[in-house]
Amino acid sequence: MTQFTPEKMSIAACAALLISSAPAYAGGLGDMVAEPAPVAPLIAPLQTNNDYYVSVFAGSNAVSDIDTNYDFFDNDYTVAFDTGFVAGVTFGKRISETLRVEGELSFASAEAANYSAISSAGYVFADSVTAEGNLDATYLLVNVWYDIPTAGPLGYYVGGGLGGAKVDGDITFNGFAFGYGPGETKLAGQIGAGLMYDVSQSLTLDVGYRFKHVGDVDFEDSDGTGVYTGGTVQSHSLQAGLMYNF
């Protein structure tokens, strides 16, 4: 028969205590296990800074009187115009916080109102006589705009651009066959200013003024007889547009 001495009873009690406490320690160790560190994605998410934009615009087009010399008779002609329209599109990029560069394709038209003519000897043989037909111009320009820093959704800008313009007429004088006909493609430029209002992060309302200039345009006579030379085409436009930023 096994004899339990006090020493053996102490050892047995210690063993029982260790066995009973083992699950608690195991639970404590489980709580101490570290969570795995998050792994960074291999591809960074796409950032949209709204550096690019496209816009459409339209407005009024007031063309200044166009003076020319008719080479067949050496007579001077002046044609006046009613207010017409302008419309166009742009595509641009913001190259800094305050500078934008854009390409512009636009079309402007105005209807002839009347003409005047004076001979090389100074004889006036037409004074504000009726003229019919339109003067059309298609512009392809590169513009640079400076955005004036402001706080809030309302901003202002100034700038201008250079490029080319194809100018044509289908104008006749007082019901006759002669008048400003097909024109030329010439160097063109513009200056302008305006204000912009951010409707949202991606949409901006643009209201502005433009002055366009095309120099030294020759027009063939509508009846094919001669050429009206040295015409300067200048226009003043008030326009409104909507810009989409992306």
pTM of the predicted model, to two decimals? 0.80
CB atoms within 10 A of CB 192: 18
- Summarize the confidence of residues 168-196 as an average pLDDT: 97
Residue pair 230/47 in contact (Cβ under 8 Å)? The answer is no
**What is the model's pLDDT at position 184?**
97
Is residue 1 over pLDDT 80? no
- Summarize the confidence of residues 147-161 as an average pLDDT: 97
Instruction: Give the Cα separation of 69 and 78 in Å (integer).
Output: 9
**What is the model's pLDDT at position 17?**
44
160: CB partners within 8 A, 6+ apart: 143, 144, 189, 190, 191, 192
Phi, psi of 49 (to 5 degrees): -100, 0
**What is the model's pLDDT at position 125?**
85
Question: Roughly how many angstroms between the first and final C-alpha of the chain, as a whole number?
Answer: 94
- CATH of segment(s) 52-245: 2.40.160.20
Q: Where are the domains of the chain?
A: 52-245
pLDDT class for 26, splitting at 50, 70, 90?
A: very low
Tokens of 109: 């038209």
DSSP class of residue 221? B
| Each residue's pLDDT tens digit, 67-111 | 999 999 999 999 999 999 999 999 999 999 999 999 999 999 999
What H or E segment, with its residue span, contains residue 10? helix 6-31
Q: Which amino acid is at 105?
A: L
77: CB partners within 8 A, 6+ apart: 67, 68, 69, 70, 115, 116, 117, 228
**What is the model's pLDDT at position 4?**
47
Taking all residues of the chain, what is their mean pLDDT, rounded to a whole number? Answer: 87
Instruction: Give the Cα separation of 205 and 184 in Å (integer).
Output: 34
**What is the model's pLDDT at position 37?**
63
| Each residue's pLDDT tens digit, 35-50 | 666 655 444 444 457 8
Assign residue 230 a region (left: φ > 0; alpha: ψ between -120 and 50; beta: otherwise): left
What does the chain come to in residues? Answer: 246
